[in-house]
Chain A
Amino acid sequence: MGIFHSIPHTNWHFYLALALTLVAGIAMLVILQLLPSQWRRPMIALVTFLGGLYYFAEFFIPVPHGHEGNFLSKYMDSVANIASVIGSFSIGLGIISLIGVHFRTALRQREGWGFSTVLLGAFAAMTAFTLLNEYAPHRTVVPRTGALHSPITNGDIYGVLFNGGLASLDSAMFALIGFFIISASYRAFRIRSVEASMLMVSAVIVMLGQVTLGSWLTGWLPRTGAASAFRFENMSEYILVHLNSPAQRAVTFGLALGALATSLRLWLSLERGLYFDQEQ
Protein backbone atom coordinates (compact mmCIF):
# COMPACT_ATOMS: atom_id res chain seq x y z
CA MET A 1 0.00 0.00 0.00
CA GLY A 2 0.91 3.63 -0.21
CA ILE A 3 2.95 3.24 -3.39
CA PHE A 4 0.27 4.98 -5.47
CA HIS A 5 -0.44 8.72 -5.72
CA SER A 6 -3.56 9.64 -3.79
CA ILE A 7 -6.04 12.54 -3.70
CA PRO A 8 -8.35 13.01 -0.67
CA HIS A 9 -11.77 11.74 -1.75
CA THR A 10 -13.35 14.94 -0.38
CA ASN A 11 -11.63 16.84 -3.21
CA TRP A 12 -13.47 16.91 -6.57
CA HIS A 13 -10.13 16.30 -8.34
CA PHE A 14 -10.40 12.77 -7.00
CA TYR A 15 -13.60 12.08 -8.90
CA LEU A 16 -12.23 13.73 -12.02
CA ALA A 17 -9.15 11.51 -11.82
CA LEU A 18 -11.36 8.43 -11.34
CA ALA A 19 -13.50 9.29 -14.34
CA LEU A 20 -10.62 10.13 -16.64
CA THR A 21 -8.63 7.02 -15.68
CA LEU A 22 -11.66 4.82 -16.22
CA VAL A 23 -12.27 6.34 -19.65
CA ALA A 24 -8.58 5.95 -20.47
CA GLY A 25 -8.70 2.31 -19.40
CA ILE A 26 -11.71 1.54 -21.57
CA ALA A 27 -10.15 3.44 -24.46
CA MET A 28 -7.09 1.19 -24.04
CA LEU A 29 -9.29 -1.86 -24.41
CA VAL A 30 -10.87 -0.42 -27.56
CA ILE A 31 -7.46 0.33 -29.03
CA LEU A 32 -6.29 -3.21 -28.23
CA GLN A 33 -9.32 -4.54 -30.06
CA LEU A 34 -8.59 -2.37 -33.10
CA LEU A 35 -4.98 -3.49 -33.40
CA PRO A 36 -4.25 -5.96 -36.24
CA SER A 37 -5.09 -9.48 -35.09
CA GLN A 38 -1.69 -10.93 -36.04
CA TRP A 39 -0.27 -8.79 -33.20
CA ARG A 40 -2.41 -10.57 -30.65
CA ARG A 41 -0.36 -13.72 -30.14
CA PRO A 42 2.91 -11.79 -29.63
CA MET A 43 1.12 -9.38 -27.30
CA ILE A 44 -0.20 -12.23 -25.16
CA ALA A 45 3.32 -13.69 -25.09
CA LEU A 46 4.73 -10.31 -24.05
CA VAL A 47 2.23 -9.84 -21.23
CA THR A 48 2.95 -13.35 -19.99
CA PHE A 49 6.68 -12.67 -20.08
CA LEU A 50 6.32 -9.37 -18.21
CA GLY A 51 4.15 -11.07 -15.58
CA GLY A 52 6.92 -13.54 -14.84
CA LEU A 53 9.76 -11.08 -15.28
CA TYR A 54 8.95 -9.20 -12.08
CA TYR A 55 9.41 -12.20 -9.79
CA PHE A 56 12.39 -13.42 -11.82
CA ALA A 57 14.15 -10.05 -11.53
CA GLU A 58 13.18 -9.58 -7.89
CA PHE A 59 14.91 -12.85 -7.11
CA PHE A 60 18.02 -12.51 -9.25
CA ILE A 61 18.90 -8.79 -8.95
CA PRO A 62 21.56 -8.55 -6.21
CA VAL A 63 20.60 -7.07 -2.86
CA PRO A 64 22.84 -4.15 -1.88
CA HIS A 65 24.73 -4.68 1.38
CA GLY A 66 22.84 -3.90 4.56
CA HIS A 67 19.49 -3.93 2.73
CA GLU A 68 16.49 -6.23 3.18
CA GLY A 69 15.91 -6.52 -0.56
CA ASN A 70 16.62 -4.93 -3.92
CA PHE A 71 14.65 -2.02 -5.43
CA LEU A 72 11.91 -4.37 -6.61
CA SER A 73 11.39 -6.12 -3.28
CA LYS A 74 9.33 -3.34 -1.70
CA TYR A 75 6.62 -3.83 -4.34
CA MET A 76 6.15 -7.55 -3.53
CA ASP A 77 3.02 -6.99 -1.44
CA SER A 78 1.56 -4.52 -3.89
CA VAL A 79 2.06 -6.89 -6.83
CA ALA A 80 0.45 -9.70 -4.84
CA ASN A 81 -2.44 -7.37 -3.91
CA ILE A 82 -3.02 -6.14 -7.44
CA ALA A 83 -2.93 -9.72 -8.71
CA SER A 84 -5.43 -10.93 -6.12
CA VAL A 85 -7.73 -7.92 -6.69
CA ILE A 86 -7.82 -8.32 -10.48
CA GLY A 87 -8.04 -12.08 -10.02
CA SER A 88 -11.02 -11.77 -7.71
CA PHE A 89 -12.94 -10.06 -10.51
CA SER A 90 -12.92 -13.47 -12.17
CA ILE A 91 -15.26 -14.81 -9.48
CA GLY A 92 -17.99 -13.72 -11.87
CA LEU A 93 -16.90 -16.47 -14.26
CA GLY A 94 -17.59 -19.01 -11.55
CA ILE A 95 -20.89 -17.49 -10.50
CA ILE A 96 -22.12 -17.18 -14.08
CA SER A 97 -21.15 -20.79 -14.72
CA LEU A 98 -22.86 -22.28 -11.66
CA ILE A 99 -25.79 -19.92 -11.18
CA GLY A 100 -26.34 -19.71 -14.94
CA VAL A 101 -26.80 -23.47 -15.30
CA HIS A 102 -29.15 -23.76 -12.34
CA PHE A 103 -31.06 -20.58 -13.23
CA ARG A 104 -31.85 -21.99 -16.66
CA THR A 105 -32.81 -25.36 -15.15
CA ALA A 106 -35.12 -23.70 -12.65
CA LEU A 107 -36.61 -21.33 -15.22
CA ARG A 108 -37.38 -24.01 -17.82
CA GLN A 109 -38.43 -26.44 -15.06
CA ARG A 110 -36.07 -29.10 -16.45
CA GLU A 111 -35.54 -32.32 -14.49
CA GLY A 112 -34.34 -31.51 -10.99
CA TRP A 113 -35.42 -27.86 -11.18
CA GLY A 114 -36.51 -28.04 -7.55
CA PHE A 115 -32.94 -28.70 -6.46
CA SER A 116 -31.68 -25.87 -8.64
CA THR A 117 -34.18 -23.54 -6.96
CA VAL A 118 -32.85 -24.58 -3.55
CA LEU A 119 -29.31 -23.85 -4.73
CA LEU A 120 -30.29 -20.41 -5.98
CA GLY A 121 -32.16 -19.65 -2.76
CA ALA A 122 -29.24 -20.78 -0.60
CA PHE A 123 -26.88 -18.71 -2.73
CA ALA A 124 -28.99 -15.57 -2.37
CA ALA A 125 -29.55 -16.05 1.36
CA MET A 126 -25.91 -16.76 2.17
CA THR A 127 -24.64 -13.81 0.13
CA ALA A 128 -27.16 -11.48 1.76
CA PHE A 129 -26.68 -12.57 5.35
CA THR A 130 -22.89 -12.83 5.18
CA LEU A 131 -22.87 -9.19 4.12
CA LEU A 132 -25.60 -8.14 6.58
CA ASN A 133 -23.69 -9.88 9.36
CA GLU A 134 -20.65 -7.83 8.32
CA TYR A 135 -22.43 -4.47 8.23
CA ALA A 136 -25.42 -4.78 10.60
CA PRO A 137 -25.08 -7.96 12.71
CA HIS A 138 -27.48 -6.78 15.42
CA ARG A 139 -30.27 -5.46 13.19
CA THR A 140 -33.54 -7.25 14.03
CA VAL A 141 -35.11 -9.35 11.28
CA VAL A 142 -37.96 -11.02 13.19
CA PRO A 143 -39.20 -9.01 16.19
CA ARG A 144 -39.70 -10.66 19.58
CA THR A 145 -43.16 -12.31 19.76
CA GLY A 146 -44.91 -14.65 22.20
CA ALA A 147 -43.14 -17.74 20.92
CA LEU A 148 -39.74 -16.10 20.61
CA HIS A 149 -37.84 -15.30 23.79
CA SER A 150 -35.67 -12.80 21.94
CA PRO A 151 -35.75 -11.08 18.52
CA ILE A 152 -33.93 -12.73 15.62
CA THR A 153 -31.06 -10.65 14.23
CA ASN A 154 -29.03 -10.83 11.03
CA GLY A 155 -26.23 -12.35 13.07
CA ASP A 156 -28.53 -15.14 14.30
CA ILE A 157 -29.59 -16.10 10.78
CA TYR A 158 -26.00 -15.94 9.57
CA GLY A 159 -25.03 -18.20 12.48
CA VAL A 160 -27.60 -20.81 11.43
CA LEU A 161 -26.58 -20.65 7.77
CA PHE A 162 -22.85 -20.76 8.51
CA ASN A 163 -22.55 -23.09 11.51
CA GLY A 164 -25.67 -25.18 10.97
CA GLY A 165 -25.30 -25.21 7.19
CA LEU A 166 -21.91 -24.60 5.66
CA ALA A 167 -19.62 -25.66 8.52
CA SER A 168 -21.46 -28.85 9.45
CA LEU A 169 -21.87 -29.88 5.80
CA ASP A 170 -18.13 -29.30 5.42
CA SER A 171 -17.22 -31.64 8.24
CA ALA A 172 -19.90 -34.19 7.28
CA MET A 173 -18.43 -34.40 3.77
CA PHE A 174 -14.92 -34.60 5.22
CA ALA A 175 -16.08 -37.41 7.48
CA LEU A 176 -17.25 -39.48 4.49
CA ILE A 177 -13.59 -40.41 4.06
CA GLY A 178 -13.98 -42.42 7.26
CA PHE A 179 -16.41 -44.71 5.40
CA PHE A 180 -14.61 -44.84 2.08
CA ILE A 181 -11.19 -45.55 3.60
CA ILE A 182 -12.65 -48.81 4.95
CA SER A 183 -14.00 -50.07 1.63
CA ALA A 184 -10.88 -48.83 -0.17
CA SER A 185 -8.47 -50.72 2.11
CA TYR A 186 -10.66 -53.85 1.99
CA ARG A 187 -10.46 -53.80 -1.80
CA ALA A 188 -6.87 -52.65 -2.27
CA PHE A 189 -4.96 -54.64 0.35
CA ARG A 190 -4.70 -57.96 -1.50
CA ILE A 191 -1.53 -59.99 -1.87
CA ARG A 192 -1.66 -59.91 -5.68
CA SER A 193 1.86 -58.82 -6.60
CA VAL A 194 5.02 -57.82 -4.81
CA GLU A 195 3.99 -54.17 -5.09
CA ALA A 196 0.45 -54.69 -3.78
CA SER A 197 1.77 -56.80 -0.91
CA MET A 198 4.30 -54.15 0.07
CA LEU A 199 1.56 -51.53 0.07
CA MET A 200 -0.52 -53.74 2.35
CA VAL A 201 2.24 -54.85 4.73
CA SER A 202 3.55 -51.36 5.42
CA ALA A 203 0.04 -49.98 5.80
CA VAL A 204 -0.92 -52.68 8.34
CA ILE A 205 2.32 -52.27 10.31
CA VAL A 206 1.87 -48.50 10.53
CA MET A 207 -1.77 -48.94 11.57
CA LEU A 208 -0.87 -51.38 14.32
CA GLY A 209 1.89 -49.05 15.43
CA GLN A 210 -0.74 -46.43 16.18
CA VAL A 211 -3.33 -48.16 18.33
CA THR A 212 -3.50 -50.09 21.59
CA LEU A 213 -4.25 -53.21 19.55
CA GLY A 214 -0.68 -53.13 18.22
CA SER A 215 0.80 -52.39 21.64
CA TRP A 216 -0.88 -55.56 22.89
CA LEU A 217 0.35 -57.78 20.07
CA THR A 218 4.03 -56.89 20.51
CA GLY A 219 3.89 -55.40 24.02
CA TRP A 220 5.66 -58.48 25.39
CA LEU A 221 8.82 -57.68 23.43
CA PRO A 222 11.60 -55.93 25.38
CA ARG A 223 11.66 -52.10 25.34
CA THR A 224 15.34 -51.99 24.40
CA GLY A 225 17.82 -54.11 22.46
CA ALA A 226 17.56 -55.72 19.05
CA ALA A 227 14.22 -57.42 19.69
CA SER A 228 12.57 -54.09 20.53
CA ALA A 229 12.88 -53.18 16.84
CA PHE A 230 10.01 -55.59 16.16
CA ARG A 231 7.52 -53.75 18.36
CA PHE A 232 4.87 -52.38 16.00
CA GLU A 233 5.36 -48.80 17.14
CA ASN A 234 9.07 -49.03 16.35
CA MET A 235 8.59 -50.78 13.01
CA SER A 236 5.97 -48.24 12.02
CA GLU A 237 8.20 -45.35 13.05
CA TYR A 238 11.09 -46.88 11.06
CA ILE A 239 8.96 -47.16 7.93
CA LEU A 240 7.60 -43.64 8.28
CA VAL A 241 10.96 -42.02 8.93
CA HIS A 242 13.59 -44.09 7.17
CA LEU A 243 11.76 -45.77 4.27
CA ASN A 244 9.11 -43.17 3.49
CA SER A 245 11.20 -40.01 3.47
CA PRO A 246 13.86 -40.92 0.88
CA ALA A 247 11.20 -42.16 -1.55
CA GLN A 248 9.19 -39.01 -0.97
CA ARG A 249 12.28 -36.85 -1.44
CA ALA A 250 13.18 -38.49 -4.74
CA VAL A 251 9.64 -37.84 -5.97
CA THR A 252 9.86 -34.25 -4.76
CA PHE A 253 12.99 -33.66 -6.85
CA GLY A 254 11.19 -34.90 -9.96
CA LEU A 255 8.13 -32.79 -9.23
CA ALA A 256 10.21 -29.68 -8.52
CA LEU A 257 11.95 -30.05 -11.87
CA GLY A 258 8.63 -30.68 -13.59
CA ALA A 259 7.28 -27.45 -12.12
CA LEU A 260 10.45 -25.61 -13.11
CA ALA A 261 10.22 -26.88 -16.70
CA THR A 262 6.51 -26.12 -17.01
CA SER A 263 7.07 -22.62 -15.64
CA LEU A 264 9.85 -21.95 -18.15
CA ARG A 265 7.69 -23.16 -21.04
CA LEU A 266 4.77 -21.02 -19.95
CA TRP A 267 6.79 -17.96 -19.10
CA LEU A 268 8.64 -17.93 -22.43
CA SER A 269 5.53 -19.08 -24.34
CA LEU A 270 7.48 -22.02 -25.74
CA GLU A 271 4.38 -24.21 -25.73
CA ARG A 272 3.09 -23.32 -29.16
CA GLY A 273 -0.39 -22.32 -28.03
CA LEU A 274 -1.31 -25.45 -26.11
CA TYR A 275 -4.12 -23.63 -24.35
CA PHE A 276 -4.82 -21.11 -27.03
CA ASP A 277 -4.57 -23.08 -30.23
CA GLN A 278 -7.33 -21.65 -32.35
CA GLU A 279 -6.13 -18.04 -32.52
CA GLN A 280 -8.72 -16.14 -34.55
Chain B
Amino acid sequence: MMAPYLHHLLMPKLLLGAVGTIAIFSLVFRENKLYRLFEHLFLGLATGYGLATTWTQVLRTKWWDPMVVQGEWIWILVIPLGLMFYGVYTKKYAWMSRMIFGLYFGLAAGTVFQAFASEYVPQIRASFKPLFSAPPISHHQFGVLANNWIFLIILMCVLIYFLFAFEQNSPVVKRTAAAGRVMLMIAFGAIFGSTIMTREALLIDRVRFLLLDWLQINHFLH
Protein backbone atom coordinates (compact mmCIF):
# COMPACT_ATOMS: atom_id res chain seq x y z
CA MET B 1 0.00 0.00 0.00
CA MET B 2 2.71 2.44 1.07
CA ALA B 3 5.21 1.58 -1.65
CA PRO B 4 3.23 2.95 -4.64
CA TYR B 5 2.40 6.10 -2.66
CA LEU B 6 6.08 6.64 -1.85
CA HIS B 7 6.92 6.01 -5.48
CA HIS B 8 4.39 8.67 -6.44
CA LEU B 9 5.77 11.18 -3.93
CA LEU B 10 9.27 10.71 -5.28
CA MET B 11 8.47 11.03 -8.97
CA PRO B 12 11.20 13.52 -10.05
CA LYS B 13 8.93 15.98 -11.83
CA LEU B 14 6.42 16.12 -8.96
CA LEU B 15 9.04 16.09 -6.22
CA LEU B 16 11.08 18.91 -7.77
CA GLY B 17 7.93 20.96 -8.38
CA ALA B 18 6.61 20.40 -4.86
CA VAL B 19 9.85 21.09 -3.00
CA GLY B 20 10.48 24.10 -5.23
CA THR B 21 7.01 25.47 -4.47
CA ILE B 22 7.55 25.00 -0.72
CA ALA B 23 10.97 26.66 -0.96
CA ILE B 24 9.58 29.70 -2.78
CA PHE B 25 6.65 29.97 -0.36
CA SER B 26 9.07 29.90 2.57
CA LEU B 27 10.24 33.37 1.51
CA VAL B 28 7.10 34.96 2.96
CA PHE B 29 8.23 33.88 6.44
CA ARG B 30 11.89 34.69 6.09
CA GLU B 31 14.73 34.53 3.57
CA ASN B 32 16.40 31.16 4.20
CA LYS B 33 18.85 28.68 2.72
CA LEU B 34 16.17 26.57 1.03
CA TYR B 35 14.74 29.65 -0.72
CA ARG B 36 18.22 30.77 -1.69
CA LEU B 37 18.96 27.34 -3.17
CA PHE B 38 15.87 27.36 -5.35
CA GLU B 39 16.29 31.02 -6.24
CA HIS B 40 19.70 30.20 -7.71
CA LEU B 41 18.33 27.06 -9.36
CA PHE B 42 15.53 29.17 -10.84
CA LEU B 43 17.91 31.81 -12.20
CA GLY B 44 20.18 29.14 -13.67
CA LEU B 45 17.31 27.29 -15.37
CA ALA B 46 15.78 30.51 -16.69
CA THR B 47 19.04 31.78 -18.14
CA GLY B 48 19.86 28.42 -19.72
CA TYR B 49 16.38 28.21 -21.22
CA GLY B 50 16.70 31.79 -22.47
CA LEU B 51 20.02 31.06 -24.13
CA ALA B 52 18.83 27.86 -25.78
CA THR B 53 15.58 29.38 -27.04
CA THR B 54 17.42 32.44 -28.36
CA TRP B 55 19.14 29.99 -30.66
CA THR B 56 16.18 27.79 -31.51
CA GLN B 57 13.55 30.53 -31.84
CA VAL B 58 15.51 33.56 -33.06
CA LEU B 59 19.01 32.96 -34.34
CA ARG B 60 18.45 29.60 -36.02
CA THR B 61 15.13 30.45 -37.68
CA LYS B 62 15.75 34.10 -38.53
CA TRP B 63 19.50 34.10 -39.12
CA TRP B 64 21.28 30.77 -39.53
CA ASP B 65 18.72 29.05 -41.77
CA PRO B 66 18.23 32.04 -44.11
CA MET B 67 22.00 32.44 -44.32
CA VAL B 68 23.23 28.85 -44.59
CA VAL B 69 20.20 26.98 -45.96
CA GLN B 70 18.72 29.65 -48.23
CA GLY B 71 22.16 31.07 -48.95
CA GLU B 72 21.46 34.72 -48.07
CA TRP B 73 25.15 35.41 -47.51
CA ILE B 74 24.69 39.06 -46.49
CA TRP B 75 23.43 37.88 -43.08
CA ILE B 76 27.05 37.21 -42.07
CA LEU B 77 27.34 40.99 -41.52
CA VAL B 78 25.29 40.49 -38.38
CA ILE B 79 28.39 39.09 -36.64
CA PRO B 80 30.50 42.26 -36.71
CA LEU B 81 27.40 44.31 -35.87
CA GLY B 82 26.58 42.03 -32.95
CA LEU B 83 30.19 42.26 -31.79
CA MET B 84 29.76 46.02 -31.33
CA PHE B 85 27.64 45.37 -28.21
CA TYR B 86 30.67 43.95 -26.47
CA GLY B 87 32.64 47.17 -26.81
CA VAL B 88 30.95 48.13 -23.55
CA TYR B 89 33.59 46.11 -21.69
CA THR B 90 36.54 48.18 -22.88
CA LYS B 91 37.13 51.90 -22.57
CA LYS B 92 38.63 51.95 -26.06
CA TYR B 93 35.66 50.43 -27.91
CA ALA B 94 32.86 51.53 -25.56
CA TRP B 95 31.73 54.12 -28.10
CA MET B 96 31.00 51.35 -30.61
CA SER B 97 28.52 49.77 -28.24
CA ARG B 98 26.98 53.23 -27.87
CA MET B 99 26.62 53.35 -31.62
CA ILE B 100 24.70 50.07 -31.78
CA PHE B 101 22.63 51.10 -28.73
CA GLY B 102 21.92 54.31 -30.62
CA LEU B 103 20.50 52.28 -33.48
CA TYR B 104 18.11 50.60 -31.06
CA PHE B 105 17.17 53.92 -29.45
CA GLY B 106 16.23 55.08 -32.93
CA LEU B 107 14.22 51.98 -33.74
CA ALA B 108 12.40 52.22 -30.39
CA ALA B 109 11.67 55.90 -30.95
CA GLY B 110 10.58 55.66 -34.57
CA THR B 111 7.57 53.47 -33.92
CA VAL B 112 5.92 56.03 -31.63
CA PHE B 113 4.14 58.01 -34.34
CA GLN B 114 2.18 55.09 -35.75
CA ALA B 115 1.51 53.83 -32.21
CA PHE B 116 0.17 57.21 -31.11
CA ALA B 117 -2.11 57.52 -34.13
CA SER B 118 -3.48 53.99 -33.93
CA GLU B 119 -3.70 53.50 -30.16
CA TYR B 120 -4.33 56.87 -28.55
CA VAL B 121 -6.20 59.03 -31.06
CA PRO B 122 -9.11 56.55 -31.03
CA GLN B 123 -9.29 57.15 -27.27
CA ILE B 124 -9.53 60.89 -27.89
CA ARG B 125 -12.36 60.21 -30.33
CA ALA B 126 -14.07 57.87 -27.86
CA SER B 127 -14.20 60.74 -25.36
CA PHE B 128 -16.67 62.75 -27.48
CA LYS B 129 -19.71 61.85 -25.37
CA PRO B 130 -23.00 63.83 -25.66
CA LEU B 131 -23.94 65.78 -22.52
CA PHE B 132 -27.45 66.64 -23.71
CA SER B 133 -30.11 64.98 -25.77
CA ALA B 134 -33.22 66.05 -27.57
CA PRO B 135 -36.30 65.69 -25.33
CA PRO B 136 -38.15 63.57 -24.43
CA ILE B 137 -35.35 62.00 -22.34
CA SER B 138 -36.05 58.45 -21.20
CA HIS B 139 -35.00 57.16 -17.79
CA HIS B 140 -32.19 55.13 -19.37
CA GLN B 141 -31.03 58.06 -21.52
CA PHE B 142 -30.85 60.24 -18.43
CA GLY B 143 -28.53 57.77 -16.78
CA VAL B 144 -26.30 57.69 -19.85
CA LEU B 145 -26.09 61.49 -19.97
CA ALA B 146 -25.30 61.71 -16.25
CA ASN B 147 -22.48 59.22 -16.73
CA ASN B 148 -21.15 61.25 -19.65
CA TRP B 149 -21.01 64.32 -17.43
CA ILE B 150 -19.16 62.36 -14.77
CA PHE B 151 -16.81 61.02 -17.44
CA LEU B 152 -15.88 64.47 -18.70
CA ILE B 153 -15.46 65.92 -15.20
CA ILE B 154 -13.16 63.12 -14.04
CA LEU B 155 -11.18 63.27 -17.28
CA MET B 156 -10.64 67.03 -16.82
CA CYS B 157 -9.76 66.83 -13.11
CA VAL B 158 -7.16 64.14 -13.67
CA LEU B 159 -5.67 65.82 -16.76
CA ILE B 160 -5.35 69.07 -14.83
CA TYR B 161 -3.67 67.26 -11.94
CA PHE B 162 -1.02 66.16 -14.42
CA LEU B 163 -0.09 69.66 -15.55
CA PHE B 164 3.47 70.36 -14.41
CA ALA B 165 4.44 73.65 -15.99
CA PHE B 166 1.88 75.65 -14.04
CA GLU B 167 2.43 75.98 -10.28
CA GLN B 168 -0.96 74.93 -8.91
CA ASN B 169 -1.48 77.95 -6.68
CA SER B 170 -4.78 79.34 -7.95
CA PRO B 171 -7.39 77.84 -5.58
CA VAL B 172 -9.55 76.62 -8.47
CA VAL B 173 -6.71 74.71 -10.12
CA LYS B 174 -5.57 73.41 -6.71
CA ARG B 175 -9.02 72.05 -5.87
CA THR B 176 -9.48 70.53 -9.32
CA ALA B 177 -6.11 68.85 -9.10
CA ALA B 178 -6.84 67.59 -5.59
CA ALA B 179 -10.15 66.19 -6.87
CA GLY B 180 -8.17 64.59 -9.66
CA ARG B 181 -5.98 62.76 -7.14
CA VAL B 182 -9.06 61.52 -5.28
CA MET B 183 -10.52 60.22 -8.56
CA LEU B 184 -7.24 58.42 -9.22
CA MET B 185 -7.36 56.79 -5.79
CA ILE B 186 -10.89 55.50 -6.45
CA ALA B 187 -9.64 54.01 -9.71
CA PHE B 188 -6.63 52.46 -8.00
CA GLY B 189 -8.79 50.98 -5.26
CA ALA B 190 -11.02 49.43 -7.90
CA ILE B 191 -8.05 47.86 -9.67
CA PHE B 192 -6.63 46.59 -6.38
CA GLY B 193 -9.96 45.02 -5.48
CA SER B 194 -10.55 43.42 -8.85
CA THR B 195 -7.06 41.89 -8.94
CA ILE B 196 -7.36 39.98 -5.66
CA MET B 197 -9.51 37.12 -6.97
CA THR B 198 -7.16 36.22 -9.80
CA ARG B 199 -4.13 36.32 -7.50
CA GLU B 200 -5.72 34.27 -4.73
CA ALA B 201 -7.07 31.75 -7.25
CA LEU B 202 -3.49 31.18 -8.34
CA LEU B 203 -2.27 30.67 -4.77
CA ILE B 204 -5.16 28.28 -4.13
CA ASP B 205 -4.15 26.39 -7.26
CA ARG B 206 -0.59 25.97 -5.99
CA VAL B 207 -1.83 24.76 -2.61
CA ARG B 208 -4.10 22.29 -4.44
CA PHE B 209 -1.03 21.09 -6.31
CA LEU B 210 0.79 20.45 -3.04
CA LEU B 211 -2.08 18.89 -1.08
CA LEU B 212 -4.07 17.07 -3.78
CA ASP B 213 -1.75 16.38 -6.73
CA TRP B 214 1.38 15.65 -4.72
CA LEU B 215 0.37 14.53 -1.20
CA GLN B 216 -3.03 13.23 -2.43
CA ILE B 217 -4.53 13.95 1.00
CA ASN B 218 -8.03 13.36 -0.39
CA HIS B 219 -7.20 9.63 -0.56
CA PHE B 220 -6.61 9.56 3.18
CA LEU B 221 -9.72 11.58 4.00
CA HIS B 222 -12.14 9.12 2.40
Contact = CB atoms under 8 A, between A and B. Distances in A.
A and B touch in their complex, CB below 8 angstroms: yes
Interface of A: 1, 4-9, 11, 14, 17-18, 21-22, 25-26, 28-29, 32-33, 37, 40, 43-45, 47-56, 58-60, 79, 81-96, 98-99, 102, 112, 115-116, 118-128, 130-131, 134, 159-169, 171-181, 185, 194-196, 198-207, 209-211, 236, 239-240, 242-254, 256, 259-260, 262-264, 266-267, 275-276, 279-280
B151 to A, nearest CB: 5
Interface residues of B, number: 129
B182 A194 contact: yes
B69 A9 contact: yes
A242 B147 contact: yes
Contacts of B185: 195-196, 198-199, 202
B150 A246 contact: yes
Interface in B138-161: 147, 150-152, 154-159
B66 A169 contact: no
Contacts of B76: 18, 21-22, 25
A50 B12 CA distance: 53
Nearest to B67: A18
A163 B15 CA distance: 11
B49 A130 contact: yes
A201 B210 CA distance: 35
A181 B199 CA distance: 8
A52 B99 CA distance: 14
Q: Which among A26, A50, A206 has the greatest number of chain B C-beta atoms within 10 A?
A: A206
A48 B103 contact: yes
Contacts of B66: 1, 4
Contacts of B83: 29, 89
B184 interface: yes
Interface of B: 12-18, 20-21, 24-25, 27-28, 36-56, 58-59, 62-63, 66-86, 88-89, 91-96, 98-117, 119-120, 123-124, 127, 147, 150-152, 154-159, 162, 180-197, 199-200, 202-206, 209
A126 B44 contact: yes
B123 to A, nearest CB: 6
21 contacts: A1-B66, A22-B80, A51-B106, A60-B113, A81-B62, A85-B59, A85-B75, A89-B82, A91-B54, A120-B44, A126-B48, A127-B49, A175-B25, A178-B204, A185-B192, A195-B185, A202-B186, A202-B193, A210-B197, A250-B154, A260-B112
